[in-house]
Amino acid sequence: MPIRASRTTALRWAIPVVALGLVATGCGSSDDGSAAGVSSAIGTSSDINPKGVDELRDGGNLRLATTAYPANWNTLSVDGNDAEIADIERPLMPRAFNTNAAGELTVNHDYFTDVALTSTSPQQVTYTINPKAVWSDGKPITWADIQSQAKALDGTDKRFLIAITVGFDRVEKVERGIDDHQAVITFKQPFAEWRGQFAGNLSLFPKSVTSDPEAFNKSLVDEMSPTAGPFLVQSADRGKGRIVLGRNPNWWGDKPKLDTITWTVLDRNSWVGGLQNNELDAVLLTNLDDATTVRKSSGVVVRRAPGNRWRHITFNGAPGSILEDSSVRVAISKAIDRQGIATAVQNGLVENPKPLNSHVFLEGQAGYQNNSLGFDPDAAAEELDALGWKLNGDTREKDGRKLVIRDVMYKDDTWVQIAQIIQQNLARIGVRLIVDTKPGANFFTDVINPGDFDAAQFVYVGDAFPLSSIPQTYGFHPGDWQNNFGHIGSPELNTLIDQTLSELDPKKAIDLANEVDRKVFEEGHSLPLTQSEGNWGVRSDIANFGSPGLASYDYTKIGFVK
């Protein structure tokens, strides 16, 4: 899921048998807040101050920050497909699997007693729903909710403004099983990442939201209901920028330790100050100054585990765009010093800053390899010359049009720093970059979705399911762009993506995914920059919350130490 400096991408689903294997990494820190042995590879580590529930006091309010009020609470929709919205909704909505720090999956028994691949020819997956599971309006969660969501996301009815198909375009039918608490999904085409259809960054929504295009697109614009988690929305005020989650009185699982979770809309640059002033309890840290400030503050600590978010640049290749020509995008990509960016923004935060070199896998996941085109500004200049973009003063020009690129991003110090580095890189080859910052509110709805950019910077979120977002982000389907905000791709790439998702052998699927990644680089679709450092500033008495790596939180066990 993309995100505003985050947004849920959907680099998020899994190969059969187990989630992709991950490499173990160490985690440590030095007294000055700099990194010591903190690898950028995602792995088996997490840092959440684990405590047993008997060590926690009952009650309390966990205070968190977000950069904007949800534009649409429906995270399946193109306007709601935002990681910050998904973070708010995690204690509210059903997911089929829990994930540990290594990305290994276990069935989430609060919602399902079993989820199993019950046939391979044809491929069938059977979901057996916990009979205690109910929506907050009192209606039971049934097979009809699964059937409705599958139909909404299959891509056939274009009135549904979906953000992702996540393999439902490969589903032939969803049928009632032995009773209303069992759904059997039959695929018309194999789908490697079947475990990710209701897991990771994707949750199950009620039939009342997914059965009708009008409801799907608009019913959750102003409020989030119904839900089905240990918490529900107690109050939400768009004007005040405040969302309060309270205990769900009808929750059938373990009783949460917290009374409430409060989300406040704050400019990203105010987060650390809010933590220092005891107005917030935990914030994501994105630079060394923030981490050093937190480490020197009383009552708070820096929690670290290799992060699952990654910065990137998306290019706009739509007809008429200054970057419509893939050869121009590729040349510009070669002129951007991604190692220089990694060093500038991560020095002191990770042991060995380096760029992320894959659009599909995080460093440390099985399958990760360097498929990038490399940093070669001399070659970039020669290629632009050959394409007819000739220097005229300091800026290249062709047919009277100057090679000027508007780089759009959420207003954040780190994003601006990255843009300024890119600005210097491109100036060397005669390309002018304009840094264009935007507010967080409706960033995707008003700016990214309509294509109001030449280049755009935001964050994608990876998880234990790295394959099924590939068609969402890199598939070329005019009129159904989903997360392909730059409208870049090809029929050839579509075919390769289809082969990847149809391959049930994990090793072969990884090999095919790397072919997809190489092709994405060669088309100049987008440019990965860095994997997140995974640093969180957290109040020291908070348990079972912090920097989780790939692990999912158990919101019933988050709380304050006695």
Q: Which of 219-228, 402-411, 479-488 has the lowest mean pLDDT?
A: 479-488
Assess whether pLDDT exceeds 90 at residue 461: no
| pLDDT score at 20 | 26
| Interval 493-518: pLDDT, tens | 999 999 999 998 889 999 999 999 99
Run of H or E residues at 276: helix 271-276
User: Who's near 228: CB < 8 A, 6+ residues apart?
Assistant: 92, 93, 94, 111, 133, 134, 135, 136, 141, 204, 206
Range 309-531 classified under CATH 3.10.105.10 = yes
Run of H or E residues at 440: none
Where residue 3 falls among pLDDT bands split at 50, 70, 90?
Answer: very low
Q: Verify cis geometry, omega within 30 degrees of 0, for the bond prior to 491.
A: no
| pLDDT score at 328 | 98
| pLDDT score at 43 | 57
Q: Which of 33-47, 336-350, 401-415, 529-543 has the lowest mean pLDDT?
A: 33-47
Of the candidate CATH numbers 3.40.50.300, 3.90.76.10, 3.40.50.620, 3.40.50.1820, the domain formed by 90-218 belongs to 3.90.76.10
pTM of the model as a whole: 0.81
Q: What percent of the chain has pLDDT over 70?
A: 92
Where do the domains of the chain lie?
A: 53-69+241-305+535-561, 90-218, 309-531
| Average pLDDT of the chain, as a whole number | 90
| Interval 18-60: pLDDT, tens | 222 222 222 333 334 444 344 455 655 789 999 999 999 999 9
| pLDDT score at 4 | 40
| Interval 286-316: pLDDT, tens | 888 999 999 999 999 999 988 888 999 999 9
Q: Which of 48-57, 439-448, 527-536 has the lowest mean pLDDT?
A: 439-448
User: What SS3 string covers 343-358?
Assistant: HHHHECCECCCCCCCC
| Interval 267-281: pLDDT, tens | 988 999 999 999 999
Question: Could you tell me the CATH superfamily of domain 53-69+241-305+535-561?
Answer: Periplasmic binding protein-like II (3.40.190.10)
Kindly calculate the radius of gyration of the chain based on its CA atoms and give it in whole angstroms: 23
- Residue 397 CB burial class (10 angstroms; 0-12, 13-18, ≥19): middle
